[in-house]
Structure 1
């Protein structure tokens, strides 16, 4: 059995999804996701120019050897562009093997540890009452866990609508490559957000799991103070309180607070997070199957985390296509140390048309289908409706113009 070719597609509804389709001489194909948000053309070119020519003629069943070939053979290793490309290949190979075996990928991993996986959605508001309405909407739809983000008076905040009742992707701007500028004021945030989180808890009671993302905006001492201030809220987790590059900052937070910490969505390998996990400085690891090199490599991270009481919380923002989210779904129901799954992409009519699937979310739980492989297909006729659109993330500056952490 041999790989005969592979094609790369860029485009999608509201996102520039990078989809890899690997084809074989037995007529079985596999799908992978290489979407690198706002840098999508880079992993697409890496795949077309360097990876695919090497794949042709290889045995797709030898996914471990192919992963090692891609990673060790590159010499200059890691980084989001290369790992997104490798992740797409690895997902596609697992998809092929599942189809050959007539089994879902979770069965190839060792079978299900649970019948469903708890997911969380994003609630956001232009002010606190607007956020309360968004949280209530999620609760009414059956969510048991909600990430909450709110505009701070005098400052927009992070990932919030500009006006009450706003909806959609608050981050990516498809107006062009040049980034818009957002303002940040740590003092305003520190004075406002603990009280806002307390009001959300008071309104919705103790059963709702509340998550909050600081998005790398605080310095270590500030993050420790903030974590201690929000302890009474009983957060499910506090995400990315400090920049991920300074992992020792989490020690300072740990010394001052017992709030569960979640980090890792910008990590690309086990070598980015093995010390954090071994030192038990975090409670949830947030890597994604795309950016962290696919199922083969993420499985190693999950196994290491299980040894140190760290649970999974895979990144699942619109940065990932339904193919990556299907890979997460199979890891979620298998992983003995599963925590929660961010889930924002499947279920829209446009996505379902491009990526048909039977995976579904019901009552806040992800139900993984028994379809062979990843359980997601790709409609090339539907894909022809889309093309690449340049887009960008905003950048953040302080009041005096200093560039700050995004």
Structure 2
């Protein structure tokens, strides 16, 4: 079975997605997600101009060889654009392979390791009252684990806070020629967040798992201070407590707090974890299928992490399409050292374009039993939602200095 064609479709059913469609000479069609939020067209060009011509005529079953061909053969390794492109090809080929076998993908990855996939939801609010309402809504959806993000006095709404009442998709790249600029002050944040945790824990009890995303904004010693201040409220984890590039900084945090740490959504290769995992500086691996070389790439990372006791917690924002989420769910089902799955819920016209076989209810997923990934892509629907230029926000300190978003 040979690859006959590889086509890239960019569409925006509420936000931009990049989808690779691989067709074989036997008529099987596999799809992969190549979305890189705010840099979508860079990956689309990489695929269209450089990768697709290399795929035509290749053995569609040679998933590992094709992965190595695109990774080693380019000479320029790693990086989000390259790894998102490789991921799209890899996921599409796994989709084809599982369809050819007549099985859902998780069966080819070793079969079930669990009966269901636990997920955490996102709650947010401009203040503690709004946040509490959002937490209650997630509980009513069945979530037993909830990420809490709240506006910080003096900082404005900030990261993870929707400007749209009741919206799930509250982190969209803003449509326009320039990013939105937000304001950040670490001092007010560090003073406010412990009170938020105390109130939410008091209202909702000890059984609800609470997660929080710092989004790389604190120095190592500030992150250590935050972790220690939150220990009485037993967070499930703190995510991205300091900048991801300085992995040694996690030692400082580890020395001062026992709160579990999660990191990795901006990492795109197993190489990014060569210090974090052997030194046991994190507890949860947050890389995405879409940004870390696909099923093949992420499985390597997760199996490496399992050696050191780190569990999977695959990145699942809405800028990863249902194709990327479906691939994550198949890995979640098969991977022994699974921890939890992020679920930021797609809404509205996304499901005009992507017909999914997975199901979510009562806080857990099922990957579905359709052969392959279980996601079908509607080209005609996608054509109704053309690409719109959009950017993620940027962040500035109160004095105007550009900071980490």
Q: Same fold (TM over 0.5)?
A: yes
1:221 aligned partner: 221
Answer yes or no: is the 8 Å Cα contact 1:181–1:395 preserved in 2: yes
Q: How does 1:298-313 map to 2 (within 5 A)?
A: 298-313=298-313
2:290 counterpart SS class: coil
SS in 1 for 2:30: strand
* Contact 2:186–2:218 under 8 Å retained in 1: yes
Indicate if the aligned counterparts of 1:174 and 1:389 stay in contact, CA closer than 8 A.
no
Query: Runs in 1 of length 4+ with deviation above 6 angstroms?
Result: none
Q: CA deviation at 1:166?
A: 5.0
Aligned partners of 2:11 and 2:138: how far apart in 1?
A: 29
**Corresponding residue of 1:249:** 249
DSSP-derived class of the 1:318 partner: coil
Match in the other structure for 1:131? 131
**1:350-389 Cα shifts (integer Å, max 9, x gaps):** 2222111221111000111111111111011111111110
Superposition TM-score, scaled by structure 1 size: 0.97
Aligned residues: 404
Root-mean-square deviation (CA), in Å?
A: 1.1
Quote the Cα distance in structure 2 between the aligned partners of 1:370 and 1:279.
Answer: 38
Partners in 2 of 1:174 and 1:189 — Cα distance? 24
1:261-276 → structure 2 map (5 Å cutoff): 261-276=261-276
Where do residues 20-39 of structure 1 align in structure 2 (5 Å cutoff)? 20-39=20-39
Measure the CA separation in 2 of the matches of 1:161 and 1:381: 30
* CA contact 1:321–1:345 (8 Å) conserved in 2: no
Where does residue 321 of structure 1 map in the other structure? 321
Task: Please report how far the alpha carbon of residue 170 of structure 1 lies from its aligned counterpart in structure 2 after TM superposition.
Answer: 3.3
Instruction: Tell me the equivalent position of 1:158.
Output: 159
CA distance in 2, matches of 1:263, 1:139: 25
Deviation at 1:173, TM superposition (A): 4.1
- The answer to whether the 8 Å contact 1:18/1:33 transfers is yes
Distance 1:64 1:274, change over 3 A: same
| Residue 349 of structure 1, CA deviation | 4.5
The whole-number CA distance in structure 1 between the counterparts of 2:22 and 2:306 is 32
Counterpart CA distance in 2 for 1:268 and 1:171 is: 21
- Residues of 1 paired with 2:38 and 2:291: CA distance? 13
SS at the partner of 1:258? coil
Uncovered stretches (5+) of structure 1, i.e. residues with no partner: none
Question: In 1, Cα distance between the equivalents of 2:173 and 2:113?
Answer: 39
- Give runs of aligned pairs for residues 392-403 of structure 1, distance below 5 A: 392-403=391-402
Aligned mates of 1:32, 1:8 — CA distance in 2: 10
Are residue 362 (structure 1) and residue 361 (structure 2) matched?
A: yes
With 154-163 and 75-84 compared, the bigger mean Cα shift is at 154-163
Find the counterpart in structure 1 of residue 19 from structure 2.
19
Distance verdict in 2 for CA 1:162–1:375, change over 3 Å: closer
Provide the C-alpha distance between the structure 2 equivalents of 1:32 and 1:187, rounded to a whole number of angstroms.
42
1:195 aligns with 195
Shift of 1:256: 0.6
Name stretches of at least 5 consecutive residues in structure 2 with no aligned partner. Answer: none
Tell me which residue corresponds to 1:337.
337
Residue number in structure 2 paired with 1:383: 382
Q: Report the Cα distance in structure 2 between the residues aligned to 1:116 and 1:400, rounded to whole angstroms.
A: 48
Segment of structure 1 superposing worse, 377-386 or 238-247? 377-386
Residue 122 of structure 1 aligns to a residue whose secondary structure is strand
Distance 1:173 1:54 in 2: 32
After superposition, what is the alpha-carbon deviation per residue over 1:122-161, rounded to whole angstroms, capped at 9, x for unaligned? 1010111000000001101111111100001121231213
| Superposed displacement of residue 15, structure 1 | 1.2
Matches within 5 A, 1:24-63: 24-63=24-63
Residue 180 of structure 2 contacts residue 394 of structure 2 at CA under 8 Å; is this kept in 1? yes
